[in-house]
A and B are shown apart, each in its own frame.
Chain A
Amino acid sequence: MFLAIKEILHNKTRYLLVIFTVFLISYMVFFLTSLAVGLARQNRTAVDQWDAKTVVVSSYANKSLTVSSIPEAKYQKYLTDKDVAPVGQMTVVSQLRNSSNKINTNVFGVDWNDYLSPKLTEGRLPQTNREVVVDDSLKNDDIKLGSQIKINGSDDYYKVVGLTKDNSFFTIPIIFTNMKTFRTLKYGSSQVKNISALVVRNDKKITETGLTQITIKDLINHIPGYTAQVMVFSFMIIAMIVITFLIIGIFMYIITIQKISLYGVMRAQGIRTSKIIESLFYQILILTAAGAALALIFMAITQLFLPKTVPFYSDWLAYLVLTLAIMVMAVLGGSLSIQRVLKIDPLSAIEGE
């Protein structure tokens, strides 16, 4: 540790360069991760809030909530279980009264006294068919408590009486209505008693012809584009981490080569190779930790300045795991130099003549 720190302090520019490189890579990794997590979350926060185990959808729907539609005869008997709740979903375009701005939204029809009823951050639950609860990300479109909104060009206005947060589905914010309003919007009449799905919170198995019970995970993976998105981001992040291995490896190798006569002096003085290698790894750990720490600080700052509309989510646990991954890669990169250090000849100490 003594040797490692002394050397870093004495050759500040050289090692600052390494820290800076690690900083850039870690920052990129953290940033991409935040976007990936942010986007993934926007796809699924509503579903995550259900905190349920399985969902029952129409078999023909290919695990898609949007396509599924279940008639009353098929689901009514299951509703006696309080851990089974109906949900209606449709994608709509909303418009604020007196505004021409069209906003993509989801309508989720629920029963207000079910466990699927949204958790409010402000306001109250609706009491009439014309009252709704909306996700607070719609504030970005100026929709707030008391706002009047039109849905799919309807003649009626719906009044926002409650706000909820982290409620979006395939990146689109949700408007919660009661079942009756949902049916009117989707089927043109509240007489059609269809729902989109049954959400099951316990381990109940539901087998009904024409219906399929799928896990929440399965449901999310079948959100169009979700798996592809997650994969693209994962590959980018993994690629960056592997690059860390190469960059640190090459950097440390070059530095090692530059230090051969110094190592010769150390070897001549009777300093063990193991000490030299130990020092090399201490340096790598110090440099990567410093670079990553700097990146974390910058992430915190970035977050303050990023527009709210960017799907960005700071997942500190993920940052920690990624930092460890980067450090492991850096250590692996450093091991490329071990071979070279082992070959150092104490005689190279006198080659400086």
Chain B
Amino acid sequence: MSLIEMINVNRQYGSGRTLVEALHPTNFSLNSGEFIGIYGPSGSGKTTFLTILGLLQSPTQGKILVNGKDTTKMNSRTKTDLRFDQFGFVLQASNLIPFLTVKEQFKLVDKLSTSKKEKMNRNTLLHLLDLQSVVNNYPSNLSGGERQRAAIARALYNNPNIILADEPTASLDSSRAQQVVEFLTQIAHESQKGVIMITHDTRLLAATDHVYEMRDGYLNQQR
């Protein structure tokens, strides 16, 4: 069974003459253990696609199934809990809470978590993303790259089944970017998670299992 499935989903913004079809009707599914890469020009609809998949916004038409369950009729609270439990987001903008240090971002997850699900090892994450020296910093005192890595660490910490990353390597140097991608590959393959990564850097796509191109709101599988 797919972790997440998109059935005939489209998304329009605006109406009448200003109507934009940011995402044309799309079918898509992500299985556990799968690492999918998506690339495409700016404004082609990648973020729109990812946020609909992540239940951050509703599609204009069509439905999203998470673990086989239709999310269309779910109330906002159920979707919120699903996001907390099942999804790890690495968003284009920072998704860290500005008044918490890196360490406290994890502490918040501990405090809010109600399920017995095991967390990822915090130290392993911090070590792997080379964040040990900045655990007591607030997001505003991190470099762009550190912030991005901290966001990745935060997204992975709750051990989500589905990881959605919107240009997670954008502000990283190429060797670090390579490391992050390797890490995401490892998580997908060894921990049987589903990972979707949007990137502009086509070199990073080599590590992924499947590649899609987004163009003018159409999603096409390349391999």
**B80 contacts A349, C-beta separation under 8 Å:** no
**A2 contacts B84, C-beta separation under 8 Å:** no
Interface size range of chain A in the complex:
20 to 34
Asked if B98 is at the interface (CB within 8 A of a chain A CB), the reply is yes
Q: Which of B14-22, B85-93, B117-125 contacts A (4 or more CB under 8 A)?
A: B85-93
Question: Inside 8 A of B100's CB, which chain A residues have their CB?
Answer: 6, 10
Asked if B108 is at the interface (CB within 8 A of a chain A CB), the reply is yes
- By beta carbon, the residue of chain A nearest B111 is A2
Task: Assess A7 versus B99: contact at CB under 8 Å? Given A269-B84, A272-B80, A347-B57.
Answer: yes
**A262 contacts B97, C-beta separation under 8 Å:** yes
Interface size range of chain B in the complex:
20 to 34
Partner of A265, one of B82, B87, B92, B95: B95
Partner of A269, one of B83, B99, B104, B166: B83
Q: Which of A275, A346, A353 has the most CB of B within 10 A?
A: A346
- Smallest CB separation, B115 vs chain A (Å): 12
Asked if A228 is at the interface (CB within 8 A of a chain B CB), the reply is no
Q: How far is the CA of A265 from the CA of B91 in the complex (A)?
A: 9
Asked if A41 is at the interface (CB within 8 A of a chain B CB), the reply is no
Q: How far is the CA of A106 from the CA of B93 in the complex (A)?
A: 77
Question: Inside 8 A of A269's CB, which chain B residues have their CB?
Answer: 83-84, 89, 95, 97, 154
- By beta carbon, the residue of chain A nearest B109 is A269
Question: Inside 8 A of A17's CB, which chain B residues have their CB?
Answer: none
Provide the main secondary structure of the chain A interface: helix
- By beta carbon, the residue of chain B nearest A10 is B99
- Smallest CB separation, B41 vs chain A (Å): 16
**A272 contacts B81, C-beta separation under 8 Å:** yes
Q: Which of B89, B93, B96, B108 has the most CB of A within 10 A?
A: B93
Mask for A330-353, Cβ within 8 A of B = 1, else 0? Answer: 000000000000000111011111
**B80 contacts A6, C-beta separation under 8 Å:** no
**A347 contacts B56, C-beta separation under 8 Å:** yes
**B81 contacts A270, C-beta separation under 8 Å:** yes
Q: How far is the CA of A3 from the CA of B98 in the complex (A)?
A: 11
**A6 contacts B96, C-beta separation under 8 Å:** no
**B93 contacts A352, C-beta separation under 8 Å:** yes
Partner of B108, one of A2, A349, A350, A351: A2
**B51 contacts A265, C-beta separation under 8 Å:** no
- Smallest CB separation, A32 vs chain B (Å): 37
Partner of B91, one of A2, A9, A268: A268
Q: How far is the CA of A345 from the CA of B51 in the complex (A)?
A: 12
The 6 closest A-B pairs by CB, nearest first: A270-B84, A10-B99, A270-B83, A352-B93, A7-B99, A346-B56
Q: B residues touching A (Cβ–Cβ < 8 Å)?
A: 47, 51, 54, 56-57, 76-77, 80-85, 87, 89, 91-100, 104, 107-108, 111-112, 138, 154, 166
Q: A residues touching B (Cβ–Cβ < 8 Å)?
A: 2-3, 6-7, 9-11, 262, 265-275, 345-347, 349-353
**Cross-chain pairs A/B with CB under 8 angstroms, 17 sampled:** A6-B104, A10-B99, A262-B97, A265-B94, A268-B83, A268-B89, A268-B95, A269-B83, A271-B84, A273-B77, A347-B57, A349-B91, A350-B51, A350-B92, A350-B166, A352-B94, A353-B92
